[in-house]
Structure 1
Amino acid sequence: MVDPALSRKWVYWTLFLVLAGLIFFMRLIPLQTTPSNWAMPDLLVCMCFAWVLRRPDYTPVLLIAAVMLMADMLFQRPPGLMAALVVIGTEFLRRRTHLMRELPFLFEWAMVAGVMV
């Protein structure tokens, strides 16, 4: 039979890919024809960081790197630059998940904001 732990990982990997595809789709369709006054946050990076903090075993490095490399290609950014920065940031946060479990939300938010900057 199928190992339940492995099938659970596949479900989370697929859910991550579906959510990333939805973010790609929403950013690529022309909802607004005039330029906006405010810069939108990169929801894909926020999702990667949140997923790594909450479920580090369900977000492999290669999956994050592949999704972010695809984002670099689709959004015409320098190929691999944002992907490398996000992988470095997620690995930094992944190593500190056991420390951040007991911290209040404000400190967790500040840590992620520091990694983003």
Structure 2
Amino acid sequence: MSEQTTTRVWGMRLTFGLIVCVILFFHLLPLETTPRQWVGPDLILAFAFAWSLRRPEYVPSIALAGLFLLADLLLFRPPGLWALFALLACESLKSRALGLRDGSFANEWLSVCIMMTTVAIAYRLALMVTFVDPPGFTLSVFELVMTMLFYPIVVGITHSVLGVQKTAPGDLDARGRRG
């Protein structure tokens, strides 16, 4: 049983890495040659939050840090800045995962929305303090709202397609302990 649990955990960790790489691949495709007037949701952040709340053992801190840093480098953001704030938010959500386990989806969504807003504000303030031109305010707010609205869809995909569900009180975690 422990071997099966370990195999599942590592399989899901690889799946998460693959999801992030696929999102980055499609983000980098040159589909338009002119600048867009809109921006889509940050699906990497949404998936990271969903997995951090539902199965924290599937997204270890080192993997999240590496994948967020990869996204920073490929998307031409200041290296490590967004990664730091996103990682801190994921770790904060992981620490609250047991408390949110028994609550409704509305509580989870509210917690995630607050955390997304905190990350966006902290990132924008850090860019302003370091004299880096932040992206347009309207685009940043639109991306934040789109990410918040897409979170239930991400959770639906995570739950129904990928099988990443909240831990039940009697489930075993990656180390074979009861949750």
TM bin (shorter chain)? over 0.9
1:97 aligns with 97
Deviation at 1:91, TM superposition (A): 0.7
Counterpart CA distance in 2 for 1:84 and 1:61 is 11
Say yes or no: does 1:49 pair with 2:43. Answer: no
Deviation at 1:3, TM superposition (A): 2.1
> Matches of residues 1-117 of structure 1 in structure 2 within 5 Å?
3-117=3-117
Write out per-residue CA displacement over residues 27-76 of structure 1, whole angstroms, 9 at most, x where no aligned residue.
00022333333221111010100011111111100000000000000001
SS in 2 for 1:96: helix
How large is the RMSD of aligned CA atoms in angstroms? 1.3
* Larger RCO (CA under 8 A, 6+ residues apart): 2
Is the radius of gyration larger for structure 1 or structure 2?
A: 2
Counterpart CA distance in 1 for 2:111 and 2:39 is 21
Write out per-residue CA displacement over residues 16-37 of structure 1, whole angstroms, 9 at most, x where no aligned residue.
1110110010100022333333
Residue type at the aligned position of 2:11: V
SS in 2 for 1:35: coil
Write out per-residue CA displacement over residues 80-102 of structure 1, whole angstroms, 9 at most, x where no aligned residue.
01111111000110010111112
Counterpart CA distance in 2 for 1:10 and 1:103 is 27
Deviation at 1:107, TM superposition (A): 1.7
Instruction: Identify unmatched segments of 5+ residues in structure 2.
Output: 118-179
Counterpart CA distance in 1 for 2:92 and 2:32 is 36
Identical aligned residues as a percent? 38
TM-score where L is the length of structure 1 = 0.92
Counterpart CA distance in 2 for 1:115 and 1:79 is 21
TM-score where L is the length of structure 2 = 0.62
Instruction: Between 21-30 and 96-105, report the one with greater CA deviation.
Output: 96-105
Deviation at 1:103, TM superposition (A): 1.6
Counterpart CA distance in 1 for 2:25 and 2:104 is 33
SS in 1 for 2:102: coil
Counterpart CA distance in 1 for 2:114 and 2:44 is 17
Deviation >3 Å, runs of 4+: none
SS in 1 for 2:33: coil
